Chain A
Amino acid sequence: MESPATCPAAKAGDFKSDVKPVWCPGCGDYHVLLSLTKALAALGLRPEQVVVVSGIGCSSRIPAYTNCYGFHGIHGRALPLATGVKVARPELTVICAGGDGDGFSIGGNHFLHACRRNVDLTYIVMDNEVYGMTKGQPSPTTDPCWDSALSPGGTGMSPFHPLVIALASGANFIARAFAGDPNVTAKMIADAITHPGFSFVQILSPCVTFRPDQKGWKDRVRQAPVSETDDPGRAARRLMTDDGFVCGVLYRGHREPYRHMVQTGARGPATDLVETGFRVGS
């Protein structure tokens, strides 16, 4: 394998593939793709050192739009898939990406346990408060009154607070970004990748087709007015009381990352030492 040191530095464009996205014109996810490629280039990584893993949904199409190794898995299971990749090959940089339905509804349980497990990977959720691929149904982060064909008059269900839940579940790095600000978002993704353990970045990524009202998000987002914290209590209070548009690194913890990784050199048919327990007699 070619050593990364001998390769010329990769630029953001080197991380983009030539596959044309299925996304609608004006979709926030284009900007997330741009931010991700900028972040990877800024970190001096090579495309082959990075694995982008996803589930199902509009935003989950992102792996094939990068020139990295990718895995477009099944609905809701991106985090276990990414966990398997990272634990098996700790030297790889693993990015898990997807939407709010994939991550918080069908994949909600994995979200909790990925936060707890603290495997050193970065989870990017492009949150647009709607199921776009199936043409406009409410997701866990949708306002309870939002009217739709599937839930006329709204779901009446309390919206899911991903950052609060990530904090309560033990995530080691919690941030919020806005897709429309790709330079800031790229820095935040790079920060998340660099931080040891499980990093969670919620990116507000407007769906202009099914949630045209989200075009107004650009006027509501703002950087956090206070410095970041490693105190979970303080972070909890801020996250519980903000309006969902405060961006920045909102919690940075120091928990030890998951350590039970497969060691290089574990391959090979050396199983003699595990067999002695079965032997009886001379």
Chain B
Amino acid sequence: MTSETDRHTSVSVALVGSGGAGVLTAGQLLLQAAARVGLFGLLTRCVGPQIRGGESAALLRLAGAPVHCMGDSFDAVLALDWNNAERFASEIPLRSDSVVISDAGNGKIPDAMLAAHPVMVELPIAATAAAADGGRGNMVALGILSAMLELPAATVQAVIATALADKGAAAVSAGVASVELGRGLADQAGLRLPVHRDVETNPLRWLLTGNEAAGLGALRGGVRFVAAYPITPATEILEWLAPNLQKIGATLVQAEDELASINMCIGASYAGVPALTATSGPGFSLMLEGLGLAVAAEVPLVVIDVMRGGPSTGIPTKSEQTDLNAAVYGMHGEAPHLVLAPTSIADALFTTQWAVHLAESMQTPAIVLSDQAIGQTTAIINPPANVKFFAERAVMRLPQTDYTRYAITADGVSPVTLPGTPGGQYTADGLEHSPRGTPSSRGEDHALQLDKRLRKIASFNYGVHWADVEGDGAMAVITWGSTTGAVREAVRRLRATGRSVRLIALRLLYPAQPRQMAAALSGVTCAVIVEQSHSGQFHRYLRAHYDLPPEVRLIARPGPLVLRPGELAQRIGNRSQ
């Protein structure tokens, strides 16, 4: 029941080659061509630790309907060479009917690639490229795969013309020629791997990574100041934001370290400009003291943590959902704040935008826990809805005499003055303070401010966005982050076989929403918790904050291997017998 369903609804292909061979470029162009004809899809990149060179692979899954995770196995692998390809073998599972295309004499095929006894096809890729003027192997490969996938030649040509425009007409025509020769090779060999589509859909698509989606969400939410220190796999958020902030008159400052970037954000936001920074585990650890200051001084800001394998330097290029404890519990003292997580690449836009709105509304920091699988995967998606969440801080423009910055209010939110406003002067402070903002170690002041800071986030109405809740039945699968994609597909496959399974994918992790969860779990007798961790951080978090049904099962695996939908459908399905 696993790969059968998979095979009928999507096609997965892998392009493998040494760094510099251009397989990542070819994969990107293939995805662009698919987007132009209205397909959906995903592209993940596998690269070794080398800065340049080494082995690389482009993994694609294309479908007629939106896809949210990589498939169970690959229908075709095309290798320009096999140097060091064994490193990726576990990430490219094959079947006996998978097609492995390679160039004769281009290295020894790794044993792992042969284990499933796939169909082996040899094509003269290098010789074909060499025969053409300015021919390139990766463009021949693009031709082969685009013909197999039945993507129109004109579409591929248009994609090449756009992508190589700044390299000149000769480069474009050489690329087009190579692609044509590749298409000829595929036609000659009779290789076909069409993507099934039920109906012609509106061909308007968006093509972007989760990191870019998060960047756009920040701008749509009203972020106009970003402080940045580069770190894998979050750098693309910052690199996308840098020029785009400039286009709208806003700015990005490159900081000397993450201690600086978080504090620059606090300063900018205190001055009235919504601020954001993005980082990953090691940088996030450095930001925790600053986040505590933002809680105490009630300064809104957003930190996106694109999670990678940890602890310490860990596995920088691979996904893991293991910063949850740090995000929820990492600050010293009692520091109520917001923790959110996107449930898909497209949702990285919504969740980041919502996070800006929430942070500004409640004058507190919001942490967005994205992950490498969301951040660095490129997706073809439907154009995202333009939701109305925007930074709206309660600003006092004409303060009364004796302005009270941290006034005790019913909802805990105290209107803030911005520098420049006469009569609104106050000193923001990490020291505990009286309602006026004056440092205080009195128990009464501490209790009042602790209560107010908690009340802000506890009494807020988060509406329906706290989680994606789908389906019904006595079993619920509870998950979060990028793992949601595979779970969503697994649950749909189970439903297709007549079983009823609910999906609960949390978007708001902190503060917990026990009333909403109780409603979502009404009638559920068994919960399966799915997460990409070793110790089950999400499971423990759920246990700490929610009443779970009598039977709870945990499917937890650390990175870097992704959880695949077929495997999940099987393991969840076993529980629902």
Contact = CB atoms under 8 A, between A and B. Distances in A.
Nearest to B397: A1
Interface string B237-276: 0000000101111111101110111111111111111010
Given A64-B438, A271-B248, A274-B248, 17 more contacts: A53-B267, A69-B424, A72-B430, A73-B430, A81-B266, A81-B267, A84-B263, A85-B419, A87-B268, A88-B267, A89-B271, A113-B256, A262-B224, A266-B273, A271-B220, A280-B32, A281-B38
Nearest to A258: B253
Per DSSP, chain A at the interface is mixed
Contacts of A270: 248
B260 A77 contact: yes
Contact of B249 (A117, A263, A279): A263
Chain B interface mostly helix, strand, loop or mixed? mixed
A123 B289 CA distance: 23
Contacts of A112: 256
B573 interface: no
A261 interface: yes
A151 interface: no
B429 to A, nearest CB: 4
Contacts of A279: 204-206, 383
Interface string A47-83: 1110111000000000110011111111011011111
A63 B430 CA distance: 13
Contacts of A240: none
B394 to A, nearest CB: 16
A274 B244 contact: yes
Contacts of B250: 262-263, 266
Nearest to A19: B438
Interface in A230-282: 260-263, 265-267, 269-271, 273-275, 278-282
Interface residues of B, number: 71
A34 to B, nearest CB: 18
Contacts, number: 206
B227 interface: yes
Contacts of A213: none
Nearest to B34: A280
Given A49-B420, A77-B263, A85-B271, A278 B212 contact: yes
B428 A70 contact: yes
Given A70-B426, A89-B420, A109 B227 contact: no
7 contacts: A69-B424, A79-B260, A82-B267, A85-B270, A85-B271, A89-B420, A109-B259
A46 B264 contact: no
Interface in B381-405: 383, 390, 397
Contact of A89 (B244, B246, B272): B272
Interface of B: 32, 35-36, 38, 203-208, 212, 216, 219-220, 222, 224-225, 227, 244, 246-253, 255-257, 259-273, 275, 289-290, 292-293, 297, 380, 383, 390, 397, 419-431, 437-439
Contact of A84 (B32, B203, B271, B429): B271
A267 B249 CA distance: 9
Contacts of A69: 419, 424-427
A279 B438 CA distance: 51
A7 interface: yes
Contacts of B251: 87, 260-262
Q: Which among A69, A117, A260, A282 has the highest number of chain B CB atoms within 10 Å?
A: A69
A52 B207 CA distance: 45
List the 7 shortest-distance A-B pairs measured between CB atoms, nearest first. Answer: A84-B267, A70-B427, A266-B249, A88-B268, A80-B263, A263-B249, A84-B264
A255 B104 CA distance: 61
Nearest to B259: A77
B239 to A, nearest CB: 13
B298 to A, nearest CB: 12
Contacts of B439: 64, 72
A48 B249 CA distance: 25
A11 interface: no
B299 to A, nearest CB: 9
Chain B CB within 10 Å, residue with most, of A79, A81, A92, A261: A81
A195 interface: no
Interface string A202-217: 0000000000000000
Contacts of B36: 280-281
A71 B204 contact: no
Given A92-B419, A271-B248, A64 B267 contact: no
Contacts of B205: 279-281
A3 to B, nearest CB: 10
A25 to B, nearest CB: 20
Nearest to B255: A80
Contact of B225 (A1, A47, A63, A262): A262
A179 B505 CA distance: 60
Contact of B425 (A68, A74, A263): A68
A67 to B, nearest CB: 6
B493 to A, nearest CB: 28
Contact of A48 (B225, B244, B424): B424
B429 A72 contact: yes
